[in-house]
């Protein structure tokens, strides 16, 4: 099977690009957007529409495969690639990339994706991570169509994985700023991990003494009982975007003490705190997260630290995992470029005994979420993000339904083997 043509089309994502620096600097909300000047290069506004590009592969037998190029909500910060705007990158895909794909034989997803992950433009620059992300999705889909199997089966075969370990992967629903109504939605649908919460500002969301988040966790626990019953005990996973570190001036003992109070408020639910501090660089982030994790364990705490900022590439993830810098590492799929890197990252985390969270961003598309679901089924990480968007229902529907469809197909294939 060969690729006979390549098309590209502009698209929208399930959320928005947000200037994280401006929001952390107390940008003033104005309805669904923010007032003020952006602080991150490339932004016209503090919040602007999320954009994507679909890469469409026409195969020699007439089948069509595609993947979506998308970048994270907080692009251009934390060591990430710059803002991904369709009008800037469509010409590059059409003129520089598409001709190199036409005529390629679909013999090995792993080999061809690795090649395009290392692709260099005529000026020597590498491809934007969003483009590498979209190409690799399309190539996985194309390889699956060429073999007439699911994308999950391609990954299992090419990475030497076991069919026997495939089971549903816990889904993590994120509420965005609508953390109360969104939590209700997630609880009603018995989500296994919730609510993310978007605690990205000290004054309005964390509290000047951390009291707002503490009160929210107490509310969340009571709400799980009220709507889900006492047997429903999802994991509480809350992303605080380094705000706890800002509040306590990155003082490790004070941060640990506060996190233990949150753990007590959450009990008997397991508590995961993502991005408790931002040290401003990778080496220092690894050092401080490890110190925080050890301080918590020394005090007898069980709250889990989730690494996110400064842990963007496959190499970053390997360094964080090798240093045991966190209990769980978010594998933020668009930041890794090709999905072959996401696969390798999950494998490495498992080898090191570190929790693997197949994450991403609200600012993805339905297609990237579907492809990530196949990765999750094949690799069995600790959890997968319900994406795109922050409305809970839509992202949860996309990931859950793709997972259930694929599990049904795999069970059917097992039966007829």
- What pLDDT, in 10s, does the model give residues 103-144? 999 999 999 999 999 998 878 888 999 999 999 999 999 999
Task: Provide CB contacts within 8 A for 366, sequence distance 6+.
Answer: 14, 388, 398
Tokens of 411: 């069970």
Helix (H, G, I), strand (E, B) or coil at 3: strand
- Please, what sign has the CA dihedral across residues 242, 247, 250, 254? negative
User: Is 332 an annotated catalytic residue?
Assistant: yes
Distance separating alpha carbons of residues 287 and 282, to the nearest angstrom: 9
The answer to whether 332 and 361 are in contact (CB under 8 A) is yes
Tell me the pTM. 0.95
Tell me which residues of the chain have a pLDDT lower than 70. 78-79
pLDDT at 80: 80
pLDDT at 286: 98
Length in residues, the chain: 417
Please name the helix (run of DSSP H) or strand (run of DSSP E) that holds residue 221, with its range, or none.
helix 211-228
Q: Which of 24, 145, 205, 332 is catalytic?
A: 332
Task: State the residue for tokens 């919040």.
Answer: 47
Task: In whole angstroms, give the CA distance from residue 226 to residue 151.
Answer: 39
Domains (range + CATH), the chain = 3-158 (3.30.390.10), 166-416 (3.20.20.120)
Q: How many CB atoms lie within 10 A of CB 414?
A: 11
For the stretch 241-261, pLDDT in tens is: 999 999 999 999 999 999 999
Check residue 26 and give its pLDDT: 76
Give me the pLDDT at residue 28, please: 86
């Amino acid at each position: 099977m060969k690729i006979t043509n390549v098309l590209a089309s502009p698209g929208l994502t399930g959320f928005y690009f947000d200037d994280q620096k401006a929001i952390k600097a107390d940008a003033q909300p104005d309805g669904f957007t923010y007032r003020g000047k952006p602080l991150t290069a490339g932004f016209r506004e503090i919040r602007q529409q999320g954009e994507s590009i679909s890469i469409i592969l026409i195969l020699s037998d007439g089948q069509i495969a595609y993947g979506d190029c998308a970048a994270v909500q907080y692009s251009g910060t934390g060591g990430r690639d710059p803002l991904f705007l369709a009008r800037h990158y469509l010409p590059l895909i059409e003129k520089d990339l598409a001709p190199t794909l036409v005529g390629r034989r679909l013999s090995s997803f792993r080999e061809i994706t690795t090649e395009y992950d290392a692709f260099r433009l005529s000026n020597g620059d590498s491809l934007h991570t969003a483009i590498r992300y979209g190409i690799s999705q399309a190539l996985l889909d194309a390889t699956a169509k060429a073999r007439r199997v699911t994308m999950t089966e391609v990954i299992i075969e090419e990475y030497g994985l076991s069919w026997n370990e495939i089971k549903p992967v816990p889904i993590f629903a994120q509420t965005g700023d609508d953390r109360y109504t969104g939590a209700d939605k997630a609880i009603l649908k018995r989500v296994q991990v919730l609510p993310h919460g978007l605690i990205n500002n000290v004054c309005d969301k964390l509290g000047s003494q951390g009291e707002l988040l503490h009160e929210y966790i107490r509310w969340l626990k009571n709400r799980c009982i009220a709507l889900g019953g006492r047997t429903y005990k999802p994991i509480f996973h809350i992303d605080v975007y380094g705000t706890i570190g800002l509040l306590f001036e990155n003082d490790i003992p004070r941060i640990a003490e506060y996190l233990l109070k949150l753990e007590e408020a959450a009990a008997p639910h397991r508590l995961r705190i993502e991005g408790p501090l931002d040290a401003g660089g990778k080496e220092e982030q690894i050092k401080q997260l490890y110190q925080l994790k050890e301080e918590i364990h020394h005090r007898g705490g069980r709250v889990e630290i989730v690494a996110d900022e400064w842990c963007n590439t496959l190499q970053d993830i390997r360094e964080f995992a090798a240093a045991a810098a966190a209990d769980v590492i978010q594998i933020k799929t668009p930041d890794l470029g090709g999905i072959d890197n996401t696969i390798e990252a999950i494998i490495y985390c498992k080898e090191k005994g570190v929790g693997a969270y197949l994450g991403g961003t609200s600012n993805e598309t339905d297609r990237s979420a579907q492809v990530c679901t196949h990765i999750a089924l094949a690799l069995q990480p600790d959890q997968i993000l319900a994406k795109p968007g922050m409305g809970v229902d839509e992202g949860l529907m996309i990931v859950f339904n793709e997972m259930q469809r694929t599990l049904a197909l795999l069970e059917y294939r097992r039966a007829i083997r």
